[in-house]
A and B are shown apart, each in its own frame.
Chain A
Amino acid sequence: MNNIINDIRDKARQLLAEGKVDVVIGYEKGSLPLKATPFFAHSPAEVDSLIWDETCENNLATYVAKTPGKKAIVAKGCDSRALAVLLQENQLVRDDLYIIGVSCTGVIDQRKIVAEVGEILEAGINDGKISVKGMAGDKEYLFAELKDATCQTCRYPNPVLEDVHLGETIAVSQEAPAFADVIALEEQSAGERQDYFKEQMSKCIRCYACRNACPLCYCQECFVDCNSPRWLTGGVNRAENLFFQAGRVLHLAGRCVDCGACTRACPQGVDIRALNRKMTKDVYTMYNHEAGISEDGKPALNEYTTNDPEQFLVKE
C-alpha cells in the first residue's frame, strides 16, 4: 500500500508541476479513525496529504464535472466506471481529465464495526488486519470481515478507464454475476418485500445525501426540486420517500455502476442499494448490459433490440 501512496503522490506532483492539470482529486486522512475524506491538491506542495487505503470510500467521480479546469482523479474500479458513463453521456471532456487508476480490494464498512464495538476511538490497518479500539471494547478484524457489501460482489476492482495504472492489478473472477442478495429478496413474498421497503423508507429523512453522493445523479434540476410539475409535495413520509427513491432508481436504471456511494452516504442506514441492485440485475439478465464498463457504448436504456423481452405485457 505504501508504495502506491508514494506513486500517487509522485504522479500528482509531476502532473501539477508540469502544469498538465490544475487540481488532483484524491483522498486524505479524515478527522475520524478509519475515515478518509476527499482532497483537492492544487499545488505540488499539497500532494503529500494524498493517501490510498481501504478507507477511501467516496466515489470521486461525483466531483469531476463540478470542478473547474483540467483535473486528475484517483480512480478505483467503480469511480472509473462512473467516469465511463459520464463520458458516454457527454458530461465530461476526456481531454480535461487525467485518470490515475488504482486497483481496489474494497472499502471498509464502518457500520459493522460500530455495531460491535461502539464508536471508534482509535484504529489501525496492518497487513489486512484492522485493529479497533471502540467505546464498548476492542477487536481485531480481518479485512474480509469488514468489506462493504458492494465490494463483496464487485466485478470491476480494476479501473476500466485510466491514463496510468499505479500498483498491481487484482485478479477478477470471470463468472457471471450471481445477484444472491437480489434473489434472496425476490424469493420473499410480495407482502414481505413490501414490509421490508416500508420499514426502510420510514427511516429516510430526505436529506438527499444519496443523490448528492451519486456520481451519476447530475440533473440540473432534480425531480424532487421541481416546482412545475410538482412531483412531490415535500411531505416526508414513507409513501413520498419511496416515490423519491423509486424515481431516482429508475433514473439510474442501466446507468448505476453499483459503487454503493448512496448507501454509504445515508445517515439513516436505508438500504437504498436493494433497489439499485434489482435494476442492475434486471438490466444484466434482460439486456446483457453492465453500466460503464467501457468508454464507448451507450447506457442500456438508450439502446434497444427488436427482440427485447416483453413479459410485462397484459395477457389480452
Chain B
Amino acid sequence: MGEIQVEAENKKYEPKIAAFLCNWCSYAGADLAGVGRVQYPATIRTIRVPCSGRINPLYVLKAMANGADGVLVSGCHPGDCHYISGNYVARRKFALIKSLLNHVGLEEDRISFSWVSAAEGIRFAEVVKGVTERVSALGPNNGIFKVVDDGGAAADE
C-alpha cells in the first residue's frame, strides 16, 4: 500500500497524508508548485481524480483504515468546475463527511478539504504546509478507523 517504513526514532515524525487532487485545478496547482520550485513538506501521496465530485466517502474512510495519518481533498474553486457542477455537489458531500467523522470522534484536523486552482501553486504549498503541521501535531493515526495490519483478525484493543 505504498507505506514508508517507520522512521528511526531520532528522525522527526513525518505524517503520511493521502491527497486526492482534482485533475483540472489542484493537481495542476501542485504541478505549478513543482515547476516553480516552491518548497513544501514531502508528506502527501497524491492520487489524481478527474473531479472532486468523484470523491467517494469510502476513499476517505479507506485511507484512514489503511493507516494514512491524514487525508487532503482538493478541487477547483466553486464556479470553476471543469464539469460545471462537480465541486458544488461535492461540497455538500464534503461538509457531511467532515461533520460525521468529527461526530464519531475523529480528530478535526485529520481530514482536510480545500479549493486550489491551477494558478495557485504557492497557495497549494501553503495548504500542504498547514495540513502537515496540523496532522503532525496530532501524531500517528491510531484512530478509530485504523485496522490492525493483520487482516483485521486481531482484537482491536
Contact = CB atoms under 8 A, between A and B. Distances in A.
Given A304-B91, A312-B95, A314-B112, A235 B58 contact: no
Contacts of B61: 231, 243, 246-247
A274 B52 CA distance: 28
B105 A190 contact: yes
Interface in B91-107: 91-107
A246 B144 CA distance: 11
Interface stretch (B3-11, B27-35, B122-130): B122-130
Interface residues of B, number: 49
A282 interface: yes
A174 interface: no
Contacts of A301: 89, 92-93, 96
Contacts of B78: 306, 310
Contacts of A239: 65, 144-148, 152, 156
A286 to B, nearest CB: 6
B127 A314 contact: yes
Contacts of A191: 105
A308 interface: yes
A313 B114 contact: yes
A242 B95 contact: no
Given A287-B92, A314-B130, A275 B105 contact: no
Contacts of A240: 65, 147, 152
Given A238-B144, A239-B145, A309 B89 contact: no
B144 to A, nearest CB: 6
B123 A316 contact: yes
B54 interface: no
B103 to A, nearest CB: 5
A197 B99 contact: no
A312 B99 contact: yes
Contacts of B148: 237, 239
Given A237-B156, A247-B61, A279 B96 contact: yes
Contact of B58 (A247, A282, A308): A247
B57 interface: yes
Contacts of A278: 99-100, 103
A268 B146 CA distance: 23
A47 interface: no
B1 interface: no
Contact of A275 (B62, B104, B115): B104
A194 B108 CA distance: 12
A312 B113 contact: yes
A302 B85 CA distance: 11
Interface string A230-264: 01011111111011001101110110000000000
Contacts of A193: 103-105
Nearest to A311: B95
A146 B151 CA distance: 42
Nearest to A186: B103
Contact of A195 (B88, B105, B106): B105
A202 B95 CA distance: 27
A313 B113 contact: yes
Contacts of A198: 105, 144
A308 B91 contact: yes
A233 B95 contact: no
A161 B103 CA distance: 33
A223 interface: yes
A231 B62 contact: yes
A305 to B, nearest CB: 8
Contacts of A253: 93, 96, 100
11 contacts: A193-B103, A194-B105, A196-B105, A197-B105, A239-B147, A239-B152, A243-B65, A247-B61, A249-B100, A315-B130, A316-B129
The 9 closest A-B pairs by CB, nearest first: A235-B152, A194-B105, A304-B88, A250-B57, A312-B98, A237-B156, A233-B152, A193-B105, A197-B104
Interface of B: 57-58, 61-62, 65, 78-79, 85, 88-89, 91-108, 112-115, 123, 126-127, 129-131, 144-148, 151-156
Interface of A: 185-186, 190-191, 193-198, 202, 223, 229, 231, 233-240, 242-243, 246-247, 249-251, 253-254, 275, 278-279, 282-283, 286-287, 300-304, 306, 308-316
